[in-house]
Amino acid sequence: MPNRSLSVEGTIIVFLILAVGLIFPIIPFLGSQIGITLTLFSGATLYLFLFFLGKSFQSGQMFEEIKISSDKVEIIHKERNKEKLIWEGNPFWTKVKMQDKENKIENYLTIVEKGRHIELGAFLSPDERLNLKNEIQNALAKAKSL
Number of residues that this document lists for the chain: 146
The answer to whether 112 and 93 have CB atoms below 8 angstroms apart is no
31 backbone φψ class: left, alpha, beta (φ>0; ψ -120 to 50): left
> Which of 121, 68, 84 lies closest to 76 in space, CA to CA?
84
pLDDT surpassing 90 at residue 62: no
Percent share of the chain, pLDDT over 70: 92
Q: Is 57 exposed, middle or buried (0-12, 13-18, 19+ CB in 10 A)?
A: middle
| Rounded Cα gap, residues 47 and 43, in angstroms | 6
- Whether 100 shows a pLDDT value over 90: the answer reads no
How much is the pLDDT for 111? 92
pLDDT grade for 126, boundaries at 50, 70 and 90? confident
Q: What is the pLDDT of residues 14-30, one digit of tens each?
A: 889 999 999 999 999 98
Sheet holding 116-120, edge to edge: 94-99, 108-113, 116-120
CATH class of the domain at 63-145: mainly beta
